[in-house]
Amino acid sequence: MLLNKKILLCVTGGIAVYKAVALVSKLTQAGAEVKVIMTSSAKEFVTPLTFQVMSRNDVFFDTFDEKDSKVIAHIDLADWADLVIVAPATANVIGKMANGLADDMVTTTLLATTAEVWIAPAMNVHMYDNEAVKRNIQTLSEDGFRFIEPSEGYLACGYVGKGRLEEPEKIVELVRKRFAHEQQSLPLKGKKVVVTAGPTRERIDPVRYISNFSSGKMGYSMAKAAAALGAYTVLISGPVELDKPEGVQLIKVESAAEMLDAVLSEYEDASIVIKSAAVADYRPKEQHAQKMKKREGDSSIELERTTDILKTLGEMKKNQVLVGFAAETNDAVGYGQSKLKNKNLDYIIVNDVTDPNGGFGNDKNVVTLLSKNGTIQPFEPMEKNKLSLLLLETIMNEESEHK
C-alpha cells in the first residue's frame, strides 16, 4: 500500500503524457497523495485540469504563480515529496538535469529537492540512442538518479524500437517495491484488525428498506490505514459505492443481523476491532414477501430493536482492543463518554455530523478520540485517509504506554 506516500510527478512534453494521466490515477487509487508539475510543452498534449481531476490537487506549471503566499511553491513541493518521478522524461529535460539547468518549474524543483528522483524516459528510438542523450543518462545515473528503462514497441513517430514510456502499472509496482522495506517494521505487522463500515439495510418488502446516509468512507479509510500499517485487515461492509481497498479482505453484508454474524465470526482472534459502521437500531418487525401497495390514509410500520453489535462485542471482549464510532448531532463528546463506559469500549471516535467539515459522504472529517484512560484528543478537520492513519497511530501509542 502507498497510503499517504507523497509522490511528486514532473510531466514533460511528449505524446506519452497521456500515460502520465493513467499513472496519477493508479498511484492515487493505491493510496498515494500525488501532486503534478507540468512543463509548457506538456500542456500542449494534456490540460492541467485533467491532472487536477485525477490527483485532486492543484497542478503547478509556472514558477512565478505562487498559489500560497506563505510558501515558495517550488521549494515547498521539493520539500514535500517522498519520491519524485519525471514521466515522461524527454531528451530535453534529461539534458537540463544532467547540466544543472533550471529554467522552468520542473527543473527548478528538481534542483531543490532532496528526495529520491526517478526518471522515466520516452522519446524516438534514435534520440534515445544518441550519444549526447546516453552521456546525459550516464551522468545522472552516476549522480544517483534512478532510471525506469523505456520499453520496446511501436512509437508515435512510426518507428518500432526502444523509447516507449514504461506502462503505468509497472511504474506503480516499482514504487510499491521501493516502499516495501518500510513495511517490514510496521507497528501492526502480525496483527489482525477487523473494521466495519457503511450503512445497513433493513428490508420492508422486496423494493423498500430502512437505512441511513453513511457512505462508508471513514470505515474504508480506517481499513486502508490498518493495512498500510501492516495488519491483516478484514473489512465488513454494508452496501456502499466504494472500491475494495487493496490488501484488505472484504466481506459484504446487508442487514444488521448479517453484520453481527460476520463480526462474531472474525472476533475471536482479532487484535483490534474498529466498528465504524452505521448499523440500524431498528428493523421492521414484519418483512413483506410482496411489495406493499399504496392505500388511502396513513400507514405505519411496527419496528423492533436490532442487536447492539458494539455492546455485544464489549461484553464478549477478552484481549481485543475495541474501538467504536459515534455520529452525533449535539454534545458528541458527552454522548461518546457515556457509550465508552456503557459498552465497555477501549476507545470511541466521536463526531458531530452536522459539522460542515465532516460527516456523512464528506472526504474530510473532524473527530475527537476518547479513551477508557480518560484522554480526550480532538483532531483538526482533515482528509479521511490521513485522519485514519493518525487515529490508529494515536491508539497504538496509548496502548503501548499503558501496557
pLDDT given at position 181: 60
Q: Where in the chain is the domain with CATH 3.40.50.1950?
A: 6-182
Please give, one letter per residue, the 3-state secondary structure of 254-284.
CCHHHHHHHHHHHHCCCCEEEECCECCCEEE
**With bands split at pLDDT 50, 70 and 90, how would you rate the model's confidence at 269?**
very high
Rounded to whole angstroms, the Cα distance separating 217 from 197 reads 8
Q: Is the pLDDT higher at 72 or at 83?
A: 83
pLDDT tens by residue, 121-169: 999 888 999 999 999 999 999 888 999 988 766 666 666 667 688 999 9
Tell me the binding residues for CTP.
281, 291, 325, 339, 343
Assign domain 186-286+301-401 to its CATH superfamily: CoaB-like (3.40.50.10300)
What whole-number percentage of the chain has pLDDT above 70? 94
Q: At 75, give phi and psi (nearest 5°).
A: -75, -40
> Is a pLDDT exceeding 60 seen at residue 184?
no
Mean pLDDT over 77-103 rounds to 95
> Is a pLDDT exceeding 80 seen at residue 399?
yes
Chain centre to alpha carbon of residue 346: 26
Mean pLDDT, the chain, whole residue set? 90
Q: How many helices (DSSP H) and strands (DSSP E) are in the chain?
A: 13, 22
pLDDT given at position 135: 94
Rounded to whole angstroms, the Cα distance separating 364 from 382 reads 5
> Is a pLDDT exceeding 90 seen at residue 402?
no
Please provide the size of the chain in residues. Answer: 403
Kind plus residue range of the DSSP H or E element containing 368: strand 368-371
Residue with grid cell 497511530, as numbered in its chain: 393
pLDDT given at position 56: 92
**With bands split at pLDDT 50, 70 and 90, how would you rate the model's confidence at 183?**
low
Q: What is the pTM of this model?
A: 0.63
**With bands split at pLDDT 50, 70 and 90, how would you rate the model's confidence at 66?**
confident
pLDDT given at position 307: 94
pLDDT tens by residue, 362-386: 788 889 999 999 999 999 888 888 8
Rounded to whole angstroms, the Cα distance separating 191 from 188 reads 5
pLDDT tens by residue, 283-328: 998 888 888 888 888 888 889 999 999 999 999 999 999 999 988 8
Q: Where in the chain is the domain with CATH 3.40.50.10300?
A: 186-286+301-401
pLDDT given at position 159: 62
- The architecture CATH gives domain 6-182: 3-Layer(aba) Sandwich (3.40)
Whether 10 sits among the annotated catalytic residues: the reply is no
> Is a pLDDT exceeding 80 seen at residue 185?
no
Which amino acid appears at position 103 of this protein? D
What whole-number percentage of the chain has pLDDT above 90? 64
pLDDT given at position 297: 80
pLDDT given at position 133: 94
Q: Is residue 2 within 8 Å of residue 177, measured between CB atoms? A: no
SS3 label, residue 391: helix
Question: Which of 12-16, 237-241, 398-402 is least confident?
Answer: 398-402
pLDDT given at position 155: 60
**Strands 272-275 and 321-328, sheet pairing:** parallel
pLDDT given at position 71: 84
> Is a pLDDT exceeding 90 seen at residue 37?
yes
Hey, what long-range contacts does 244-247 have (CB within 8 A, 24 or more apart)?
245/220, 246/1, 246/29, 246/30, 246/31, 247/1
Q: Is the pLDDT higher at 91 or at 286?
A: 91
SS3 label, residue 292: coil
Catalytic, out of 53, 132, 156, 157: 157
Q: At 336, give phi and psi (nearest 5°).
A: -65, -40
pLDDT given at position 360: 67
**With bands split at pLDDT 50, 70 and 90, how would you rate the model's confidence at 354?**
confident
Tell me the binding residues.
281, 291, 325, 339, 343
pLDDT given at position 216: 92
pLDDT tens by residue, 208-264: 889 888 899 999 999 999 988 889 999 999 999 998 887 899 999 999 999 999 999
DSSP string, 55-79: HTS-EE--TT--S-TTS-HHHHHHH
